[in-house]
Structure formats: C-alpha cells, structure tokens
Structure 1
C-alpha cells in the first residue's frame, strides 16, 4: 500500500479498517482464551475427560501462545507486521476447525496446541500494527479502543460460549472463528499498511553491514524452543503431580527439564544479543520489567477465576451454560464503558494509582465470590463479586497496555507487545496448572459438587492474594513512563 507508516488517522477509512482488523483478530484469540472455560463440563462429558484433560485443554492453548508470542512479535518486526499477522489469522483458523471436529480429548488437546501457535503469530501483530501505523496524535485513542474492546471480547467469551453450547454444540465455540477470520483478512488486505522495524536488516551483509544488522536477520529457533520447553516442563509437573505424586520420577524430571530450559533460555538470549527473540536491551527499562512481572501476577488471578468460576456455577450452583455466561456480563459492560476512560485517566495522572487500586478492588470481588453455593441467587450472591472484579480489571487493562508500550522505544513495538502477551498467558497457564493441585482437586473432582465447592473457595483466596501482590508491586515500583523513541 502507498499509505505511509505512522500516518493513519482514526477518522479515515483506512484507520477504521485497520483498527477493525486488529480488534477482530485479537478478539478471536482472547475469546478462545475464555470461551472454552464455560464448555469444560460439556467437554469432559462428551470426550470422557478427567480434570487433567480439561487442564490441558486450557493450557495447551496457553502454553504455545505464551511460548511463541515472543517469536511472533519479533517475526513481525523483521519480515512485516501485516504479513505475519495474516499468517497467524490463517493458522489460527485452521486449528480452530480441527478443534471443532475433535473426536477425543487427545485430538482436542493437540489442536489447541496448534491454535496457540496461530494466536502467537497474530496477537502481537494486532497491537504493533496500531502502534506503528497510527499518527502519534491518534495512537493513544486507538490503543485505548483496542484495549477496551479486547477486554470486552475476553469477558464476552463465556456469554457467547454459553449461548452456542446450549443452542447448538460446544463445537461451535471453535467453528465461529471462521467467519470472523474472513472479515479480518479482507479488512487487513484492503486498509492495513505494511510496516517493519527499520533497524532490522533482513539481508545479511546489507545495509550498513554492521554486526547488529547481520545478527538480527537470523531466526532464533533456539530461544523459541527453550522458552516452550521451560513453560511445558513446569506445566506438566504441576498438572501431573496430582495424579502421580510430587516425588514421581516423571514429575521430578519434567520440573528439572522445565527449570533448566528456562535458565538456558535466559543465557542464550543474553548471548545472542541483537539476534535474540527477546532482545536484552528491552529490560534496560526497569519499568518494562516491573510491568511484565505485574502482568504475570494479575493475569494469574484472572486465569484462576475463569477456570474455576465457569465450572463452579454449573457444577455447584446448577446454572446452565448460557446462564453462566450471562453471570459475567457485568464485567463486559464495565470494560466496554470504563477502559477508554481508565486509559485517559492514566495518561493524565500516571499509571501507578489505577494499577494499584484496580487489583485491590478485584481482590474484594474474589472474596465475595466465595459465597456462591448451590442454587445461588444471582443478584445477591454472584453479582457483587463479579461487578467488583470487573471494576478492578477496568482500572488495569488500558493503563497497563499503554504503559508497557510507553516504556520502550517505538521500534520495539512488536517484541514489547509479544513479551507482555507472553507474560499474561504465562500467568494464566501457571494458575490453571497449579491451583487445582494447591486446593486439592481430584481427577474427577470437577464433576463432584461438594469437592469442587471446597476447592473453589480456596482458589478464590489464592486469586485474591495474587491481586494484592500485584497492587503492592504497582504501589512500590510503577511510575509514569518517559517518552522513548
């Protein structure tokens, strides 16, 4: 396209089309991050799964998404953000078809691993396209709209999933991605300009011939595989420890491999320097490092809630899938209405206050949700906790996204977005792997009301504690990001 980079305006057709493509594509990924939770009891019954199978259905997606989202952002910066974005859309859609056709829990888990790879290619690209394509005067509003509507899609997932499950089948929570992908592809091809990191020389020996240009043209396969191995080993150990015991050789081996791979990942990335999938210079910004630690903690709490609440409302409170989805609708409304305002407020006063107060409010919501029991009345038992949690996350989502991107130079937009997405997915991944073990949920416990109720109450306390930990991080270490170029 002839449209110059960083010149799109929100009022133009190209600006609106680019924003539409970015929101719809990310919405598919974020929707699938939550919609599956409502379907878990139905998946367990239809595919004869135990608790570990349901955990892997959620975590197979999160694992590859978290492990390869760094690579997805870097590939976009190097080879073209729109090109990698569209590749991710096609990959994600194909894997979604495989999920919808699954005939066994093993088939579904394998397809979810593939789906996560597609998500890793398109998710960082959606935000970096906005960062690199929009005029600086409109960029903040575009990011705010993206953040708010993506938050809405995350919260809307249980509602959409519940309706599809009750009206049609659980398979449609995956098949619905096909028409969305068609719209994304048409919008991106028509309106979205191509962009890449100008500091990356994709032709070895070209440009200024510097070592940095030559190094960054290489493909960091070692980093990607080590990152996936680290997350995979730790996740396997946490999930399977409940069945085989913490002292089992396979659990110990998986934990050792996971930790060793994580350490090797850090060492390899430092050694590769400019060629690294995760450039070490990103972490020269202390604020960037702190914000990503904050993201892991807060999104771990969110992951724990989405896994446990949807099952609890159906197994213990007796809600249908649709009623379970409707139960979380206040979060959707709050994120839709409040996220742009929260982003604007953070721009005026800095991110510390909203990033501190938001998790505290959400933690109170977790405590109130512990009161949900059999035949719980929605307005007096479920609504207060859901509303407070939604209000707390509304204060967090847009300020966090803007602060992460503001903490690094613009040319690192794709990688910075990838790092933050990896942090959020890793937080949810570890929570879903660890919480069932920490609260003593058995292999068949997801379908036993009494046992699951006890586990749910304990899990909500863990999630509240994680939120308070995030609030403490923000209060002590977050400040207004300086302008970086």
Structure 2
C-alpha cells in the first residue's frame, strides 16, 4: 500500500502560492493535450507523401487521437477519482509523452496510427484529472476563476497548436510537430511532481 497521503476531494489547499503553482501545472498539462488535437491537420499532404498512404489512412491517423480521447475520457477520469489524481496524471503524462516521441520518429503509417491511439489514451487520463485537481484544491470563491483559466487554456491551446504547426510545417518538417507536446509534458511532469497534491473522490476515500 502506498504511504503517500491521499486527500479527499474536498481538501482545499490553503496556501495561495501553492494553488497558483497547481493551476500552472495542470494548465501546462492541458495545453499539451489540446495542442495535439489540431496539430496534424496542417500536415496531411506531408504525411501522405512520407508514408505513401491514402487519404483515408491519413484521416484515421489524425482523427484516432480525438476519437480515443473522447471514448475514454469518462472512464479514465473515474480511474483518477478512484486511485488518486496525481498518480493518474503522472502516468497519463508519461504515456502521452512516449506516444508523441513514437509519433515523431514513426517509420510507417501503422506505427503512427498506433502512436496516435496511445497518445489519445494518455490524453484521456490527463484532461479530466486536471479539472478534478482544480475543483478539489481551490476554495469556492476562487474555483470559478481557476476553471475559467482552465477553459481559456483549452480554447487557446487548439489555436496555438494550429498556428505553430503551420509554421513548423512551412519552415521545417512535420516531425517537429511532436516537439511542442513533448516539451510541455516534460515541464508538466516536473511541475506536477513538485506542486500537485494527491487526492481522490470522497466516494472512494473509504477504500484503503
């Protein structure tokens, strides 16, 4: 059994500086997830040439990430509530980072498709946990503002990912599209280890 303290869902973090650090950590993790949703859209012709793949295969590569994320979002969010949000967030970031490295060096369409599906699994672990961490650690009077920041990052991450992806494809290679998510994952891992407390839903807190 883990000896790491696990806080119930309603355990507010009293220190304002610690709460800001938590918000920054989860927003960086969320940015990594969202920036990957639209990133490959601008590289469809390059992917088709690189892999000699049909348009339908390229669309599967692009959309498999979002489909996997959407399909597993609720299930893996519940896993975070059950087993503890911090370890699930750390595992999700690790899976997501490894998948993006694999995507960046993928030698074939099949490997790329598998990497995108694995990336979607990692993203489905990250996204709901980041919101759950906010709701469990911020007091009522600050929670709405923190969720607003989280929502803004979710919206802005897609736009940022699209523009940066277009620029990278123009000046370099589509393989560099995976550099930003990996860099964000590394920063998010360090910030999570340092700042994010472990917590779980009160529904499950009685289970040792």
- Is the TM value for this pair above 0.5? yes
Q: CA offset at residue 6 of structure 1?
A: 4.2
Q: CA offset at residue 135 of structure 1?
A: 0.9
2:41 maps to which residue? Answer: 37
2:13 maps to which residue? Answer: 8
**Do the aligned partners of residues 48 and 122 (structure 1) sit closer, same or farther apart at CA in structure 2, a change above 3 Å counting?**
same
2:141 maps to which residue? Answer: 137
- Asked whether 1:50 is paired with 2:48, we answer no
Q: Counterparts in 2 of 1:109-258, with a 5 A limit?
A: 109-200=113-204, 203=207
SS at match of 2:192: helix
Q: CA offset at residue 3 of structure 1?
A: 10
Alpha-carbon distance in 1 for matches of 2:42, 2:95: 24
RMSD: 2.0
Alpha-carbon distance in 2 for matches of 1:76, 1:2: 15
1:63 maps to which residue? Answer: 67
Q: Counterparts in 2 of 1:71-470, with a 5 A limit?
A: 71-200=75-204, 203=207
Does structure 1 retain, via aligned residues, the 8 Å contact 2:31–2:184? Answer: no
Alpha-carbon distance in 1 for matches of 2:97, 2:17: 26
Alpha-carbon distance in 2 for matches of 1:201, 1:191: 21
Does structure 2 retain, via aligned residues, the 8 Å contact 1:79–1:202? Answer: no
SS at match of 2:200: coil
Q: CA offset at residue 88 of structure 1?
A: 0.2
1:350-371: CA deviations, max 9, x gaps? xxxxxxxxxxxxxxxxxxxxxx
SS at match of 2:12: coil
Alpha-carbon distance in 1 for matches of 2:139, 2:154: 21
Does structure 2 retain, via aligned residues, the 8 Å contact 1:78–1:202? Answer: no
Relative contact order, higher structure (CA 8 A, sep 6+):
2
Q: CA offset at residue 63 of structure 1?
A: 2.3
Alpha-carbon distance in 2 for matches of 1:85, 1:115: 14
Does structure 2 retain, via aligned residues, the 8 Å contact 1:6–1:135? Answer: no
Alpha-carbon distance in 1 for matches of 2:162, 2:50: 19
Q: CA offset at residue 141 of structure 1?
A: 0.2
Q: CA offset at residue 42 of structure 1?
A: 1.4
Alpha-carbon distance in 1 for matches of 2:152, 2:138: 17
Does structure 2 retain, via aligned residues, the 8 Å contact 1:6–1:136? Answer: no
SS at match of 1:171: helix
The normalised TM-score by structure 1 is 0.40
* Long gaps (5+) in structure 2: none
